[in-house]
Each structure stands twice: as C-alpha cells, then as structure tokens.
C-alpha cells in the first residue's frame, strides 16, 4: 500500500478501507509514514468524515499497533473516561467504589494538558504514589485491591501518541473522528467488558455546545459498542467546576472529604454515583442504573469506598495510613489568600476554562508536556452558580507559591466570575444519557 494513495482518497472525500486504515496506523507506529504524510492524513480526515464504519476501523487499527491487555479475574473488568473538565476528580471516588461492588477497575488515565486537570497528576500529589506500572505489576495490584489508576505504557496504542502530536501542531485536534479514535484506541487496549463515558458540556469543557457534546457522545458510544465493548455515555455539566477545588492536592482533599464524610448530596458524589450506576448495570452487577447508583451511594456513605481507596493507594506506594491522616500527607502552598467579592448580587456565570488556565499559571498544570507541576497550588472553596453574595463575600481561596502569582490568579478569578442583580437559571448536573 501507499500512504499517498490513502491521502488522495481522503482528499476526494472517500473513506479508506479497513485494510488501508490498518496499514496507515501501523505506519504511524513504526515510522513508515512520515510526519508530512501523517499531517496530511489528519487534515484529510478533519476536512471530511470517516463515518461510523471508518471511525471504528481506525480506532481498532490504532489500538492494535500496541499491546492489548488481557485479564483473568473472577468479575467484570470495567472502566470510565471523562472528556476533561475542571475540578473533575470523579475517577478517584469511583474506582474504589466500583471495586467494592465486585468489579475490577484497571483505569488507564492521562495527565493534565491545557486548562483541564489530569487524573495521574492528582494521584501523584499523594506522596510515594507511582502511576507507572508494568503489565504484571498492574495485574497484581488490580487482583489484590480491585482497582488501580495508572498511566499508559509506551506500548499502549503507539500510533495514537504519534498522531496526536501531529494533530496538535496541524490544527486538527477538533476532528470528531480523530478524537474518537484517540480516546478509544487507548481505552479499548485495556479490554474492558463495560465502559462509561463522561462527556463534559459547558464553559470548563472542550465541548461548549449541546450539539457538539451530543455528537461526540454518540460517536464514542457507537464506535466502542461496534468494537464489542458495552458502552454508555452521560453528558454532564461543566458550566462550573464539579468540585469546589481546582489543583491536584486540593482536589485529592475534596475526594477524601467525600469518601470520609459520606456526603451524598455533594455534586462530586452525585456524579460518581450516576456514572457508577450505569457501569454496574451495563456490567451485570446491578439490575438497572438507578439501583447501581444507590449501591455506589451506600458504599461511599458507610466508608467502604474510603477503605478500598486506602488499600489502592498503599498498593501503588502511597502511605499506609493515608485515609486516616490525609491532611497531614498532602502538600500545602506557602501563600493562601481569599478573594472577596467587589459587588453584591448573584453568581450567574463562571468561566471554567479561565479558572483552569489560572491554575496552570500558578504552576498546577502544563502548557507543554515537559512542564513540572506543583501539586500544592490551585483554588479552593470556589463559589457555586446561583450563590447570593455581598461585598466582601469570599469567591474562592487562592493557593500559590508566590505573592505575585496569587495576585495574577486573583485578577483572573474576578474576570471569570459574573455577578448580576438577579439570579440566573441553574443547569442540571446531568444533561442527557446516551445508550447503545
């Protein structure tokens, strides 16, 4: 086969065959395809459409360029993926709760890039935790504790790693077909029996409109189910941070408050239960999603999820007594200051992306992959939409390494929060469910 012929087909708005897409994906992984050809391929896909069949073929082709994990457990292997938001630390709540229900959860996650936080960075805010495990060690940890949150090895979907880097510099990141193949080639390499997708919608998400979020959710669910993995999706709200904290150690703190206090009405706990309920139902561990959600809530409320989380953390190198003493172990910033409101009224809008970028500027995220992350910085006690405020009411608390960084974050935070005389309409936590 010839890369030029495949690119020419895309230019004519034709869909390459499954064999051609498999050849091209392998060429991405082994270097047969040049950077120029990879860029032309990405642009060709971006300017046209692969359609459901082509999208599924590209996804499986990219998955099969590397290792595809296999398991021998006495229960279903299940997983969850979020398309990215701010204050989104659901994975740390959900993985141990699902494990307590009899599932096995080898959750291969990513790092933060852009305005969204990364699950691996949050895990590594806990002293001693390692998220890079070889296949044998990963299998042992999941067998012993039921769950592990780890990073992908270089042998997981190497074609995607190469293509993503090309997309990043060729303005082709937004392609629905390429987004779908990128997400699912890695997720399906972990061979889950069931998968739930948390597709974010709103100011703090990549998908800003309902139509964009719905199109992505449908593309992901159709492709994953075509690949043989039972998959559902929830379109969830990201018009404000999910948890009231942004930043790695601060978000771990929110996770621990939920797990150790049993706060079932907290948005973080609510969304964890709803996503978990869908997964338990799809995996055959609950009769329906509502029953599954009730089970997750009960496991969080009575402390079983916290105990399981502690076992998971210890198994990957964290403190044995982390759950009992988490406040002592998490790093703290040297500069902590409240940001008071300069007007009275109601909080009617929050620019989540701007808040996420403010945390990046504090050192809590990355502008390029090689950046070092400060786990202690970020924002806490971020005010919620609909809140009534008076002059002087705290809008958030800044955690910074330096005074000048805190001042810049304060300016960004004030610009990101809209206060008006009358309250606005509050969005639902869950907008829509997409089922097979």
State the DSSP string of 136-189.
HHHHHHHHHHSEEEEEPPTTSSHHHHHHHHHHHHTT-TT-HHHHHHHHHHHHHH
Sequence-distant (6+) residues with CB within 8 A of 305 are 93, 96, 97, 100, 259, 296, 299
For 108, the 3-state DSSP assignment is strand
Cβ–Cβ under 8 Å, residues 309 and 259 = yes
Cβ-based neighbour number of residue 46 at 10 Å? 19
Q: Are 142 and 105 in contact (CB under 8 A)?
A: yes
- Residue 424 φ then ψ, to 5°: -100, 180
Task: Please work out, in degrees rounded to the nearest 5, the angle formed at the alpha carbon of residue 324 by the alpha carbons of 91 and 118.
Answer: 25
Q: Which residues pair with 398 in a beta bridge?
A: 337, 379
Please report, to the nearest 10 degrees, the dihedral formed by the alpha carbons of residues 252, 257, 259, 263 taken in order.
-140
Phi, psi of 398, deg, nearest 5:
-95, 135
CA angle 119, 335, 339 (to 5 degrees): 85
Would you mind telling me the total number of residues written for the chain in this entry?
Answer: 436
Query: What's the distance, CA 197 to chain centroid?
Result: 9
What residues are labeled active site? 79-82, 119, 167, 182, 186-187
Tell me which residue has tokens 């958030």. Answer: 396
8-state DSSP, 368:
S
């Amino acid at each position: 086969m010839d890369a030029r012929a495949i690119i020419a087909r895309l230019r004519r708005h034709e869909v390459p065959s499954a064999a051609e897409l498999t050849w091209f994906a392998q060429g991405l992984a082994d270097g047969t395809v040049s950077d120029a050809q990879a860029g032309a391929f990405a642009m060709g896909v971006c300017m046209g459409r692969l359609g459901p069949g082509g999208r599924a073929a590209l996804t499986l082709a990219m998955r099969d360029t590397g290792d595809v994990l296999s398991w021998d457990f006495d229960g279903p292997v299940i997983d969850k993926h979020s398309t990215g938001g701010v204050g989104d630390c659901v994975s740390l709540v959900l993985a141990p709760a699902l494990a307590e229900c009899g599932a096995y959860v080898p959750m291969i996650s990513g790092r933060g890039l852009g305005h969204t936080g990364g699950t691996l960075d949050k895990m590594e805010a806990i002293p001693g935790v390692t998220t890079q495990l070889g296949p044998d060690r990963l299998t042992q940890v999941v067998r012993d504790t039921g769950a592990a949150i780890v990073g992908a090895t270089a042998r997981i979907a190497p074609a995607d790693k190469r293509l993503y880097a090309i997309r990043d510099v060729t303005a082709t990141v937004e392609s629905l077909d390429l987004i779908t193949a990128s997400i699912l080639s890695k997720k399906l390499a972990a061979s889950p029996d069931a998968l739930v997708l948390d597709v974010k919608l709103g100011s703090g998400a990549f998908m800003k409109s309902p139509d964009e979020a719905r199109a992505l959710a449908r593309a992901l669910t159709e492709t994953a189910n075509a690949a043989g993995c039972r998959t559902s999706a929830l379109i969830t709200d990201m018009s404000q941070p999910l948890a009231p904290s942004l930043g790695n150690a601060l978000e771990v703190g929110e996770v621990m408050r939920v797990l150790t206090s049993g706060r079932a009405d907290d948005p973080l706990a609510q969304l964890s239960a709803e996503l978990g309920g869908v997964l338990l139902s799809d995996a055959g561990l609950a009769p329906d999603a509502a029953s599954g959600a009730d089970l997750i809530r009960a496991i969080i409320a009575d402390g079983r999820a916290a105990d399981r989380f502690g076992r998971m953390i210890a198994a990957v190198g964290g403190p044995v007594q982390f759950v009992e003493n988490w406040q002592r172990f998490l790093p703290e910033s040297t500069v902590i200051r409240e940001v008071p409101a300069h007007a009275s009224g109601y909080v009617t809008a929050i620019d989540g992306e701007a808040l996420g970028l403010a945390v990046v500027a504090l050192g809590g995220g990355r502008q390029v992959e090689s950046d070092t992350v400060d786990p202690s910085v970020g924002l806490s006690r971020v005010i919620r939409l609909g809140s009534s405020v008076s002059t002087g009411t705290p809008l958030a608390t800044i955690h910074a390494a330096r005074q000048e960084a805190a001042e810049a974050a304060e300016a960004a935070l004030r610009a990101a929060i809209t206060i008006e005389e009358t309250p606005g309409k509050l969005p639902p936590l869950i907008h829509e469910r997409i089922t097979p």
